[in-house]
Structure 1
Amino acid sequence: MPKTDYDEFAAAYSADNEVNLLNGHYERPAMLDLAGDVDGRRILDAGCGSGPLSAALRDRGAIVSGFDLSASMLELARRRLGDDVDLQVADLAKPLPYDDAAFDDVVASLVLHYLKDWTGPLAELRRVLKPGGRLILSLNHPFVYTALNPDGKYFDVAEFSFDAEHAGRTVTYTIWHRPIHAMSDAFTQAGFRISTISEPPISADTPLELRPEGVPHPARFISFIFFALEAC
């Protein structure tokens, strides 16, 4: 299957990400809630995109660094965050350009599900974290796979594609489905302990016109799943 290339639609994705339901009023607020008080903490934003989560964490007092595979996304992040923030083009599937135990926390928004093999990436994220540091991440909820693929088997690890619209542009995403037990096993084998699994509602400040139709407030629906892990 073709891989998702964010360089091809960076500007459209970034503009939509700021204000849409799934990113602007669901995923990002949920990540910030899990992160909690980050004042003074060194945080690596893995797959930082155009930097909205990094900016929000910095506004809360964090010292942020970020990397992304997309050079176009990083250019947008530099415009947002300024030249004094450490932003690098890097591939989570390869060794990362950071020292051991360099960070108090790592955040990874909707990143790991692009990879079939989590062994190396999780080992690298564990390596750059201090002992007791946190990996806070979001992933496509595994129930989405069977909802979009009625013939798909929940307990398989399987690649699949789906379309989404950003600022009037249709984008095809290709990601990997994993059942929850496979996620949990991968985290444990990499040296993490699960402290939180979350399926949160959308944020309370979501505009009425963006709220899912027919879903009472606080609105919960199957889209993403969130984890807070502690480096053992």
Structure 2
Amino acid sequence: MKNKVKQAYDRLSVRYEHEDEKYNVYNNYYERPAMIKQLPDNLKGLKVLDAGSAAGWYTEYLINQGAIPTAIDISPEMVAATKRRTKEKAEVLCWDLAEKLPFKDNTFDIIISSLTLHYLKDWDNTFFEFSRVLKPNGIFLYSVHHPIMDISISETKKYLETELLTDHWKYGNEKIEVVFYRRPLHQIINTTLKSFYLEELIEPSPREELKKKMPDSYYQLLQRPNFLIVKSINSKKK
């Protein structure tokens, strides 16, 4: 599983780094505006962990907002892309989120994880580690595939079960196999609540810009959300 994820995103890194605006319209006009809306207006001086940085879009955004970001990703090629994008202005590590994090307790003010956690089977250990390295009352903000979207490509259609799914993403004239886990909504929320207080659950609305660029996709997202955003607060005591 880990190797498949790493291989897929190593191959996708060039597109994420250089063709982001053209191919990531769902990110630019759907997921990212909704995620940024949940962040504090003033990020200056805050230490932020970008957990699953891909090619570094969020890391670059955080730098531009005056934050002090640290980025981690399992893909060596994505890590290299993040370093180039941020011009070495952030610490960037190649790391597996399923492993113990290489940071001290209470290091970060915010953890942001964009469309990454569905590649992990077990969230318990990862969320425990997030809580450990996050300051008390720190923000944990993440986005994942919406369960409604993923059940549509499930062969079993057993919504209440967690299952490994395989999808194929078009990449030029070929397709890249991408594997990830689908889990029901109650499991997403209940796992979060083991370490965090739930502040807000967001099913984002697409921006008007998407309607101009891809009207079919815009109306599809209004009928069936693709992503789910969870904003939570670290419940760890001081």
In the superposition, the TM-score normalised over structure 1's length comes to 0.90
Change (3 A) 1:36 1:128: same
Q: Which of 207, 215, 219 is matched with 1:215 structurally?
A: 219
**What is the alpha-carbon root mean square deviation over aligned residues?**
2.1
For residue 172 of structure 1, report the CA deviation from its aligned partner.
1.9
Match of 1:3 in 2: 4
SS of corresponding position for 1:228: strand
Match of 1:29 in 2: 33
Structure 2 CA distance, aligned partners of 1:182 and 1:193? Answer: 15
| Runs of 5+ consecutive residues of structure 2 not aligned to the other structure | none
Q: Which of 111, 116, 139 is matched with 1:111 structurally?
A: 116
For residue 150 of structure 1, report the CA deviation from its aligned partner.
5.6
Match of 2:197 in 1: 193
Match of 2:82 in 1: 77
Q: Which of 59, 82, 87 is matched with 1:54 structurally?
A: 59
Q: Which of 135, 139, 143 is matched with 2:144 structurally?
A: 139
For residue 219 of structure 1, report the CA deviation from its aligned partner.
4.5
- The answer to which structure has the higher helix fraction is 2
- Say yes or no: does 1:172 pair with 2:177: yes
For residue 25 of structure 1, report the CA deviation from its aligned partner.
1.6
Q: Which of 5, 11, 15 is matched with 1:12 structurally?
A: 15
In the superposition, the TM-score normalised over structure 2's length comes to 0.88
Match of 1:126 in 2: 131
| Per-residue CA distance 1:31-64 (angstroms, 9 max, x = gap) | 1111131233211100101100111122222211
Structure 2 CA distance, aligned partners of 1:18 and 1:167? Answer: 16
SS of corresponding position for 1:148: coil
Structure 2 CA distance, aligned partners of 1:153 and 1:198? Answer: 24
Q: Would you say the 8 A contact 2:149–2:224 is kept in 1?
A: no
Match of 2:97 in 1: 92
Structure 1 CA distance, aligned partners of 2:202 and 2:231? Answer: 8
Change (3 A) 1:167 1:206: farther
For residue 214 of structure 1, report the CA deviation from its aligned partner.
7.2
Q: Which of 226, 229, 234 is matched with 1:226 structurally?
A: 229
SS of corresponding position for 2:210: coil
1:98 counterpart letter in structure 2: F
Change (3 A) 1:213 1:202: closer
- Say yes or no: does 1:153 pair with 2:165: no
For residue 207 of structure 1, report the CA deviation from its aligned partner.
6.2
Q: Would you say the 8 A contact 2:72–2:95 is kept in 1?
A: yes
For residue 145 of structure 1, report the CA deviation from its aligned partner.
2.4
Structure 2 CA distance, aligned partners of 1:70 and 1:228? Answer: 25
| Runs of 5+ consecutive residues of structure 1 not aligned to the other structure | none
